[in-house]
Structure 1
Amino acid sequence: MGTDYQRAREELGRRLRELRVEGPLGRLTGTQLAQRLGWQQSKVSKLENGRQTPTDDDLRAWAEATGQPAVFDELRARLKGFESQIRSWRRQLAAGHRPVQETWNALVSDSHALHVWENSIICGLLQTADYARHVFEGHAELQRSPRDAEEAVRARMRRQEWLYRPGRRLNVVMWEGALRAQVCPPEVLAAQLDRLLGVVGMNTVHLGIVPMDAPLSLSPANAFWVIDERLVVVEDWHAELWLDDAETIALYRRVWDTFADAAVFGTDAQQVIARVRRSIKV
Structure 2
Amino acid sequence: MGVRLRELRRQAGLTGTQLAESLSWPQSKVSKIETARQSPSEGDIRAWTRATGGEAHTDELLTALRTLEAQHAEWQRVLHPGLQPHQRKLAELDSKTKVFRIFESTVIPGLLQTGEYARSRLAQGVILFNANNDIDDAVRSRLQRQELLYRPDKRFHFVVPESVLGLRLSGPEVMLGQLDRLMSLSTLPNIRLGIIDSTAQYVIGPWHGFSIRDTERVLVETYSAELNLVQAHEIALYGKVFEQFAAIASYGRSARAIIARAAEALASEEDSANKQDSRP
**TM-score, normalised by the number of residues in structure 2:** 0.70
SS in 2 for 1:95: coil
Match of 1:132 in 2: 118
Match of 2:209 in 1: 223
2:134 is equivalent to residue 155 of structure 1: no
Paired with 2:131 and 2:163, the residues of 1 have a C-alpha distance of 27
Paired with 1:127 and 1:113, the residues of 2 have a C-alpha distance of 19
Aligned pair partner of 2:160 in 149, 161, 174: 174
Aligned-pair Cα RMSD in Å? 2.0
What per-residue deviation string (whole Å, max 9, x for no partner) do you get for residues 201-256 of structure 1? 10111100111221001111111000011011011000010011111100000000
Q: How many residues align?
A: 207
Instruction: Structure 1: state its 5+ residue gaps.
Output: 1-73
2:99 is equivalent to residue 103 of structure 1: no
Deviation at 1:82, TM superposition (A): 4.5
Match of 1:241 in 2: 227
Paired with 2:165 and 2:128, the residues of 1 have a C-alpha distance of 22
Paired with 2:256 and 2:158, the residues of 1 have a C-alpha distance of 14
Aligned pair partner of 1:232 in 218, 222, 233: 218
Match of 1:184 in 2: 170
2:186 is equivalent to residue 200 of structure 1: yes
Paired with 1:213 and 1:84, the residues of 2 have a C-alpha distance of 39
Deviation at 1:139, TM superposition (A): 3.2
Deviation at 1:153, TM superposition (A): 0.3
Q: Is the 8 A contact 1:98 1:152 kept in 2?
A: yes
Paired with 1:248 and 1:139, the residues of 2 have a C-alpha distance of 27
Aligned pair partner of 1:112 in 98, 113, 118: 98
Q: Is the 8 A contact 2:229 2:235 kept in 1?
A: yes
Paired with 1:86 and 1:261, the residues of 2 have a C-alpha distance of 30
Paired with 2:213 and 2:149, the residues of 1 have a C-alpha distance of 14
Instruction: Structure 2: state its 5+ residue gaps.
Output: 1-59, 271-280
Q: Is the 8 A contact 1:83 1:244 kept in 2?
A: no
The 1:251/1:96 distance shift into structure 2, 3 A limit, reads same
Paired with 2:130 and 2:64, the residues of 1 have a C-alpha distance of 33
Paired with 1:207 and 1:250, the residues of 2 have a C-alpha distance of 21
2:158 is equivalent to residue 146 of structure 1: no
The 1:213/1:141 distance shift into structure 2, 3 A limit, reads same
Q: Is the 8 A contact 2:83 2:125 kept in 1?
A: no
**TM-score, normalised by the number of residues in structure 1:** 0.70
Greater than 2 Å deviation, 4+ residue runs: 81-84
Match of 2:73 in 1: 87
Paired with 1:240 and 1:175, the residues of 2 have a C-alpha distance of 22
Paired with 1:229 and 1:105, the residues of 2 have a C-alpha distance of 18
SS in 1 for 2:71: strand
Structure with max Cα Rg: 2
